[in-house]
Structure 1
Amino acid sequence: MRIYRISKNQYINDLSGEGSRLYGGRWNHIGEAMLYFSQNLSLSLLEILVHVDYPRLPLDYSFLEVEIPDNSIKNIQSIEFIEPKWSTEAAVNQLQLLGSNWLKKNESLAMKIPSAVLQPENNFLINPMHKDFQKLKVIKSGKLDLDPRLFRK
């Protein structure tokens, strides 16, 4: 399966999970390395845009397209059991616990989870410490050339 990531230019080739280890994320606590990918490049961009003011969106982003074996993905069918609603900020502690438990079990290279930004689509959590991490194959990378219409008020 091919999945995508967007990052600042200087970090695009860093697949250590160091950023999420230092700052935490929606699905991981501070101190735990994790990589965040999306099923589409466009979803990756949406995941960035929800965290940045449009007029202040930096233009120094790049993308990465990678391939991972289909059999290395744990598929989460539903997380509707999480209360409060899993897609809200109030559920972040529970999502971090779920992601942390997955990392600790070390049972799969990737976990497929629904996107809170666009729920019919999926994101992929990657465990950079998993034994199959070397099976992650970089297909393509490049600088993002974002349309200036994104920056209109």
Structure 2
Amino acid sequence: MASSVEGTVWRLTRPQYAPGLDGKGARLAGGRWNSRGVAVVYCGSSLALCVLETFVHLPHEMRTVAALPTMSAIEIVLPAEARIDDVEARGTFAPEDAAACRAIGDAWVAEGAVLALSVPSAIVPQERNLVLNAAHPLMAAVTVRRTEVFGFDARLAGAAG
């Protein structure tokens, strides 16, 4: 069931890939909600959630105080006419079943009816991520409100605080 989208969403990405709204990275690598070859844009409902989602995907050698990367925090505004599907409305699934999640996301993208799919965060299941269909016509109306330099707090890498 689709509902209206309100507010903004966030992305946290390496500066060379910002703003990253073409879905190329997800298309090349695949993700929890898409297979390789399927272009989507992963966003978080808050910048804090993006920090957690990004940090857990950093290679272990980058999770040190000396190696923490500088990122770009991107606040994204979805068009007022955008709609959002809730993944739970598409049936039951086991969040730890990555293949099932990818199948759901791939089918949703193939339908092409709605710009955004709301999915639970694997890290904080009570929080929501949005998956944007990069091929949806409304992607052309998605705008970047601001982009800021973002540095991870060294305490995430074990520094004394």
Answer yes or no: same fold by TM over 0.5. yes
Aligned equivalent of 1:69: 79
Matches within 5 A, 1:40-51: 40-51=46-57
Runs of 4+ in 1 over 3 A off after TM superposition: none
1:35 to 37, 41, 44: 41
- 2:42 partner SS: strand
How many residue pairs were aligned?
Answer: 148
Q: Does 1:101 align with 2:107?
A: yes
Could you tell me which amino acid in structure 2 is paired with residue 63 of structure 1? A
Aligned equivalent of 1:128: 134
- 1:63 partner SS: strand
2:8 to 2, 18, 23: 2
8 Å CA contact 1:115–1:121 kept in 2: the answer is yes
Q: Does 1:20 align with 2:26?
A: yes
CA distance in 2, matches of 1:23, 1:108: 23
8 Å CA contact 2:70–2:151 kept in 1: the answer is no
CA distance in 1, matches of 2:17, 2:51: 16
CA apart distance, 1:146: 2.3
CA distance in 2, matches of 1:74, 1:6: 21
Q: TM-score, normalised by structure 1?
A: 0.88
CA distance in 2, matches of 1:58, 1:34: 26
Could you tell me which amino acid in structure 1 is paired with residue 64 of structure 2? P
1:55 to 64, 81, 89: 64
CA distance in 1, matches of 2:151, 2:84: 33
Unaligned runs of 5+ in 2: 1-6
Aligned equivalent of 1:113: 119
Q: Deviations over 1:101-152 (max 9, x none)?
A: 1110001111111111101110000111101112211111111032222221
Instruction: State the Cα RMSD in Å.
Output: 1.8
1:143 to 123, 131, 149: 149
Q: TM-score, normalised by structure 2?
A: 0.84
CA apart distance, 1:28: 0.4
Q: Deviations over 1:21-61 (max 9, x none)?
A: 11111100001111000000000011012222322753221
